[in-house]
Amino acid sequence: MQGKKIIITGASGGIGKETAEVLAARGAQVTIASRNVRRGEDAKADILKRIPHAHLDVEHCDLASLTSVHAFAQTYREKHGHLYALINNAGVVTVKRESTEDSFEKMLGVNHIGHFYLTTKLLPLLNGEDNARIITLSSGAYKWGAIDFADPHLEAFGIWKGYARSKLANVLFTIELARRLKTSFVNAVSVHPGATSTEIGVNRDTGFGQTIHDVLRPFLKTAREGAQTSIYLASTRELVNGGYYYEGGKRQALKKKALDHALAKELWAWSEMEILRRGFTIEAV
Ligand SMILES: NC(=O)c1ccc[n+]([C@@H]2O[C@H](COP(=O)([O-])OP(=O)(O)OC[C@H]3O[C@@H](n4cnc5c(N)ncnc54)[C@H](OP(=O)(O)O)[C@@H]3O)[C@@H](O)[C@H]2O)c1
């Protein structure tokens, strides 16, 4: 991994931070793309205590804002000529219906749309690198997800409904991206990290949701264990383009709904159109 440039979204905590620590320990140059720079800097300082030689940068990137994603990608492209791995790791669960700055329902807006836009912006840098990869964190929850274009902004809100659909979107995005990258040297894969003790779903301001995490902790993987599949996929040369991985690097067959190529294309076209409608440009992939 020596000198490999890697971006990890949401590496200020949880699975992303553990992934950043291990990859930086192996010599990668890791950029922590964080919505909250203070939390990103705290994560960096904590990692440096154990890995003093770690090469870590913290940059602001709020996936709930297309303006912020655009600014982050632009700055990264200006500073760095190439990118080896983009790890689309950040994720949110909201307990009530919330919207992003650009009026997307928040779980779809952050987990899918923000990463969709970021990926298209950074692809030119990945295209220039041998064996580059885009690793997107999904979840086994995708199996319960549905994409309903009649209610794209989830007016009929449900927590599980919203989260599962965003995680199905992550897998559909990956299989359509993999198809588009078939003739390139870039691979796209998705991940189920397994049920892991992190801060997912915990309200950062009020702490709401922490108690249930504390109760469940003994039954869950540690964040380091949950990071193993991302770490493997960032490190191996044996990637299968479009593959869905779990348990530290095993491949799992996707359920039929996630292999619906017509739906994956439709979601891609919808995502692109919604971003363009908001005045942002998308590079052809
Ligand atoms: N934990 C599990 O059991 C589990 C299971 C299956 C899949 N996953 C997936 O694994 C990934 C990592 O989750 P985790 O469990 O590590 O959760 P976590 O501890 O809550 O960490 C999530 C990270 O995403 C960041 N984030 C949230 N909203 C963001 C935004 N608008 N822009 C940029 N970053 C944002 C958070 O930043 P702040 O530090 O600012 O809050 C944090 O760094 C997610 O995609 C999740 O869906 C987790």
| Domain coordinates in residue numbering, the chain | 5-277
Residue ID of nearest Cα to ligand 1 atom 8: 139
Q: What is the mean pLDDT of residues 31-51?
A: 98
Closest to 163 (Cα-Cα) out of 229, 204, 106: 106
**Which residues have C-beta within 8 Å of that of residue 155, sequence separation ≥ 6?**
97
Site to probe by mutation for ligand 1, drawn from 196, 219, 221 as the one with most ligand atoms within 8 Å of Cβ, is 196
Read off the pLDDT band of 81 (50, 70, 90): confident
Homologous superfamily, domain 5-277: NAD(P)-binding Rossmann-like Domain (3.40.50.720)
Q: Which two tokens stand for residue 78?
A: 């200006």
Read off the pLDDT band of 212 (50, 70, 90): confident
Do 126 and 134 touch, CB atoms closer than 8 A? yes
Q: Which two tokens stand for residue 102?
A: 């650009």
Q: Work out the mean pLDDT of the chain and round it to a whole number.
A: 96
Centroid of ligand 1 to alpha carbon of 183 (angstroms):
31
Q: Which two tokens stand for residue 11?
A: 């590496």
Do 17 and 47 touch, CB atoms closer than 8 A? yes
Do 58 and 41 touch, CB atoms closer than 8 A? yes
**Which residues have C-beta within 8 Å of that of residue 183, sequence separation ≥ 6?**
none
Helix (H) and strand (E) counts in the chain = 10, 8
- The reported pTM is 0.97
pLDDT score recorded for residue 47: 98
Read off the pLDDT band of 213 (50, 70, 90): confident
